[in-house]
Amino acid sequence: MQSIHAKGACTRPGRQATRTPRFILACVFATAVLPAPVAAQRPADGYPTRAVTVIVPFAAGAVTDLETRLYAQKLTELTGRTFVVDYKPGAGSMIGTASVARAAPDGYTLLVATPSLSIAPLLHKNLGFDPINDFTYVSMVSKRAPLLLATPSLPVKNVVEYIAYARANPGKLNIGTSGSTGGAHLSMEWLHHSTNTKATFIHYKGGAHSFTALMAGEVHVAIGSLIAMMGNVRAGKAKILGVTSAERVKILPDIPTVAEQGVPGFEYAPWLGFAVPRTTPAAIVARLNAELVKVARTPELAERLADDATLMIGSTPEQFALAVSTEAARWRKLVDETGMKLEQ
């Protein structure tokens, strides 16, 4: 499918505006393969005994920011030890991710894991570490349920009609994304590939710019978060075709999922979880998982995040690892079948 990069699109607020020099990236990734200090192999009875650093591989202010801080605050309350949020953005989240991969596997450095991990193997060939297998996945704590949105002038009311329109007008629909190779882009490629339809993709530097383009009629369709776009939907500036998560959301119970509307198995629900270096002792992983599950099941936290259609999960490590590997395999299959040219 044709892809176009929007000219003059600005960097989304909170994102780094400049690229990290190649030699800095090379140094960061090279150190990822250095042996990490051997973790003390003692039971987790006293863990944690000091502050724990939570690495966010994005700039402060990104969509993961609020939720990460809420989890850090709750973990501090539950354990009596401070969980400090530290931002290490750059290279599509790989700088911060590399720093955790090479950290001591002792439970005192956590990674805020996002779907960028499952996409990374397609984009980065020589990282010096494995962005999927060099971690132990502690718990997926939540998913967000985005909306599939259309400009009001598009003559469709739901996904079934959208697919029929796309089939009758191959390549004529313009889809706005928050960036090439992002989750929204890959998911819409998946939708069109699975329904044997074609569209033109226009990539913006950030979701806010694709939403503006949608409301201005520059693109016909975009995926947007409920919290960012619901006001515009109510104002008649956009309309909802469906929810992209696997299940309906409580805040919009009458809006069917994309999967319910003719695309079985379809799911785009950005997730958030926590991971640690691969050889972290099982006892520490179990302790962290227990605390994270408690936090994920805290009613006040679920209420705080409900406005963005956040689904609280609180998975086991095994469930989380399977979800990541399954997602990575799905994107690999999509790229292989479509011949997509991915860009970093």
Number of domains in the chain: 2
In this structure, are 139 and 46 located in the same domain? yes
pTM of the model: 0.84
- pLDDT given at position 307: 83
Between CA 27 and CA 24 the distance in angstroms is: 5
The answer to whether residue 343 is domain-embedded is no
The answer to whether residue 15 is domain-embedded is no
Q: Look up the CATH number of the domain holding residue 313.
A: 3.40.190.150
Query: Which helix (H) or strand (E) is 65 found in, with range?
Result: helix 65-79
- pLDDT given at position 332: 95
Whole-angstrom CA distances from 203 to 8, 65, 173, 212, 308 are 11, 23, 14, 13, 23
In this structure, are 42 and 113 located in the same domain? yes
Between CA 220 and CA 320 the distance in angstroms is: 35
- Written as six digits, the tokens of 215 are 């409301």
Choose the final residue of a domain: 201, 230, 261.
261
Number of Cβ within 10 Å of residue 56's Cβ equals 23
In this structure, are 64 and 38 located in the same domain? yes
The amino acid that residue 294 corresponds to is K
In this structure, are 135 and 278 located in the same domain? yes
The answer to whether residue 24 is domain-embedded is no
Tell me whether the omega of the peptide bond preceding residue 317 falls within 30 degrees of 0, making it cis.
no
- pLDDT given at position 1: 54
Choose the final residue of a domain: 213, 234, 261.
261
In this structure, are 44 and 129 located in the same domain? yes
- pLDDT given at position 126: 84
Nearest to 222 by CA among 210, 237, 206: 210
In this structure, are 156 and 255 located in the same domain? yes
The answer to whether residue 51 is domain-embedded is yes
In this structure, are 298 and 150 located in the same domain? no
The answer to whether residue 321 is domain-embedded is yes
The answer to whether residue 150 is domain-embedded is yes
**The pairing of beta strand 200-203 with beta strand 239-243:** unpaired
The answer to whether residue 23 is domain-embedded is no
If DSSP codes are grouped into helix, strand and coil, which group holds residue 305?
helix
Which domain, by its residues, includes 304? 32-144+270-338
The answer to whether residue 19 is domain-embedded is no
- pLDDT given at position 196: 96
**The pairing of beta strand 147-150 with beta strand 109-113:** unpaired
> By the 8 A CB rule, do 105 and 39 touch?
yes
In this structure, are 311 and 298 located in the same domain? yes
Q: Going residue by residue through the chain (344 aa), what tens digit of pLDDT does each one get?
A: 555 555 434 433 333 444 443 444 444 444 443 333 333 344 466 899 999 999 999 988 877 888 999 999 999 999 999 999 999 999 889 999 999 999 999 999 999 999 999 999 998 888 889 999 999 999 999 999 999 999 999 999 999 999 999 999 999 999 999 888 889 999 999 999 999 999 999 999 888 899 999 999 999 999 998 988 999 999 999 999 999 999 999 889 999 999 999 999 999 999 999 999 999 999 999 999 999 999 999 999 989 888 888 999 999 999 999 999 999 999 999 999 998 877 65
